[in-house]
Structure 1
Amino acid sequence: MAIDLHAASWSLDAMKTLGEILSDWVRAQRRADDQPLLLMLSGAQGIGKSTAMRQLARDIPGLVTLGLDDFYLTQAERRSLADRVHPLFETRGPPGTHDLTLLNQVLEGLLSGAPTSLPVFDKASDDRCPPSDWPWVSEPPKVILLEGWMIGALPDAGAPMSAPLNAVEAQDEQGHWRSFQERALADGYAKLWDLADAFCHLCAPDFSAVLNWRLQQEESNLGLLPGTLPDERRLWVARFIQHYERITRRMLAGGRRSGLAIHLDAQRRVVGAHQSS
């Protein structure tokens, strides 16, 4: 692809909201041809991607946003994967639990300008919605933004042999769950990342902030006041994000595709940014 990513200048204005800063970043990207831009955005759970996406939808004409979460394998497909590889694959989220064939088909349709339906995953039922419920994009997009927690993550071939980070990884005694993830990152996901014109990474200060944000997100999802999440649900959230811990920590340490890194503090305030080559 003939891409000129530096045709427009980009600078951080800390007085702006995260959504406004991301809008500035999107507008700063350029291609040398008239093809739609394909941008990719990473950010840990609860960091504020959904709020930022609403701002982008208002600011950027011709924007189509795709969430990696909407491309999870179906519940039946994950059960089959769990039977074949490791029981931990019944839980959605880690590399290997996404339908990359479907995602590439959707991207191909959008990039060609053809009318394209966008999958929807219902987290309440833990399964993909029927195609009759998928929205359609009928007009050729100018910008396609793919967002998700692990966008741009790099593989680590040594991870399967390392000591478990938490109780979830301790269930993967032979490293089969981690090995499958690392092979997926080195293959199908790497090919997906190769399609991007540019990356932006929203960086948490540490993993403890990610846990706190995910707890806040769970309270919001359940319509509860801050600090009122029941203990059993707090324990469930703490265990759930252990499925994501290793790769989240890797990305925070720099194990990600190069691009713009926007750093936030524990209150989700933007505190800095830098462009990696």
Structure 2
Amino acid sequence: MPIAIDDLIAAERLPPSYAVMVDRWWRPLARQIAYWHASAGRPLIIGINGAQGSGKSTVCRFLQASLLPEQGLSAAVVSLDDLYLPLQAREQMARDIHPLFRTRGVPGTHDVDAGMALLEAMVAGRDTLILRFSKALDDRLPQADWTRHAGKVDILLFEGWCVGARPQDAAALEQPLNALEAQEDPDGIWRRHVNKALQTSYAQWFAMIDHLLMLKPPSFDHVLNNRLRQEHKLRATAPDAPGIMDDAAVARFVSHYERVTRHMVADLPDHVDLLFQLSAGQDVISCTGLANEDAHVS
């Protein structure tokens, strides 16, 4: 049974006004996904791209728990954030390839093989364990803390900050983009390896996506502000966890994502099925491609 929207809003600690967002944007999105599913006649993988703090997990929660069940569809969520390589593996990459690979986030720091196997198993309806990663610990949780998915699913929501990202042209990698690249990757080894991952293993992974949507922030500065808010919340709930960052550390951390994020903002709008434009307050202000009379439909 679908969970009531008001109950979800309360559980997610959202303002009551979020119900307007649900009715205007997320319920029509659920109808669009249901149309895609009916047309395909098989389970679908829906990719949800959005920079840090864009509200991806919230959208997925409402789709999975309420809006897709309203359409008679079962749904499950796979988060890119649970598919980071363990800390030990990233430390090995830092030694073997480049020190910046110790920091999770960029393409190259995910367990792509496990991610592809997970999507394949869940779409096929096989019982499977879903990996879990702790941002506070900056490491994968032990298998005893993973969750088991069993049975058929109609819609698999695959969400993550760089889901569906495409590689840059080689020429775009020549010059450092920010202080982090200038000071710690002057020869471009790290950023070229990230781009190579997008050209190869990540391209194969993202090719599994049937339809891709993007939650597009107004600027990269808003991404940093949203990530700071996320860290403040994490700090409040787990102040002694080893992975907690202060504001300066968050700014440096987000610099790792800046190149790919800026490229996605410029490149992906022409390649997604649905483009949700966000305001500075993370509200949707328009959508291209959604069958909704209130949206700016192209």
Q: TM class, shorter-chain normalised?
A: 0.7 to 0.9
The runs of at least 4 consecutive aligned structure 1 residues that moved more than 6 Å come to none
Which sections of structure 2, spanning at least 5 residues, go unmatched? 1-18, 238-244, 290-296
Q: Separation in 2 of the partners of 1:149 and 1:46?
A: 9
Q: Which residue identity lines up with residue 148 of structure 2 in the other structure? A: W
Q: Which residue identity lines up with residue 78 of structure 1 in the other structure? A: R
Q: Separation in 2 of the partners of 1:222 and 1:20?
A: 33
Larger mean Cα displacement after TM superposition, 20-29 or 195-204:
20-29
1:105 aligned partner = 117
Query: What root-mean-square deviation, in Å, do the aligned CA atoms of Structure 1 and Structure 2 show?
Result: 2.1
CA contact (8 A) 1:72 1:93 kept: yes
Q: Separation in 2 of the partners of 1:140 and 1:159?
A: 45
1:228 aligned partner = none
CA contact (8 A) 1:35 1:111 kept: no
Q: Which residue identity lines up with residue 117 of structure 1 in the other structure? A: L
Match of 1:184 among 173, 176, 197: 197
Match of 2:34 among 7, 24, 27: 27
Task: Give secondary structure in 2 for the equivalent of 1:263.
Answer: strand
Deviation of 1:32 after TM superposition, in Å, equals 4.5
The equivalences for 1:45-194 within 5 A come to 45-59=52-66, 60-61=68-69, 62-158=74-170, 161-170=173-182, 171-194=184-207
Q: Separation in 2 of the partners of 1:158 and 1:145?
A: 31
CA contact (8 A) 2:136 2:234 kept: no
Q: Deviations over 1:191-219 (max 9, x none)?
A: 11111110000000001111111111112
The equivalences for 1:122-271 within 5 A come to 122-158=134-170, 161-170=173-182, 171-223=184-236, 233-255=246-268, 257-271=271-285
CA contact (8 A) 1:152 1:199 kept: yes
Larger mean Cα displacement after TM superposition, 54-63 or 167-176:
54-63
Pair 1:204–1:178, CA change in 2 (3 A)? same
Deviation of 1:143 after TM superposition, in Å, equals 0.6
CA contact (8 A) 1:160 1:178 kept: no
Q: Separation in 2 of the partners of 1:187 and 1:25?
A: 30
CA contact (8 A) 1:160 1:175 kept: no
Q: Separation in 1 of the partners of 2:103 and 2:142?
A: 20
What's the TM-score, normalizing by structure 2? 0.80
CA contact (8 A) 1:153 1:185 kept: yes
Q: Deviations over 1:106-136 (max 9, x none)?
A: 1121121111110000111111112222111
Q: Separation in 2 of the partners of 1:184 and 1:150?
A: 12
Deviation of 1:92 after TM superposition, in Å, equals 0.2
CA contact (8 A) 1:159 1:178 kept: no
CA contact (8 A) 2:37 2:43 kept: no
Deviation of 1:33 after TM superposition, in Å, equals 4.8
Q: Which residue identity lines up with residue 158 of structure 1 in the other structure? A: A
Q: Which residue identity lines up with residue 233 of structure 1 in the other structure? A: D
Q: Separation in 1 of the partners of 2:192 and 2:62?
A: 38
Which sections of structure 1, spanning at least 5 residues, go unmatched? 1-13, 225-231
1:44 equivalent in alignment to 2:43: no
What's the TM-score, normalizing by structure 1? 0.86
Q: Which residue identity lines up with residue 208 of structure 1 in the other structure? A: D
Deviation of 1:84 after TM superposition, in Å, equals 1.1
Task: Give secondary structure in 2 for the equivalent of 1:16.
Answer: helix
Q: Deviations over 1:161-192 (max 9, x none)?
A: 43212121121111110111111101111111
Deviation of 1:243 after TM superposition, in Å, equals 0.3
Aligned residues: 257
Q: Separation in 1 of the partners of 2:59 and 2:133?
A: 20
Task: Give secondary structure in 2 for the equivalent of 1:124.
Answer: coil
Q: Separation in 2 of the partners of 1:113 and 1:131?
A: 21
Pair 1:135–1:94, CA change in 2 (3 A)? same
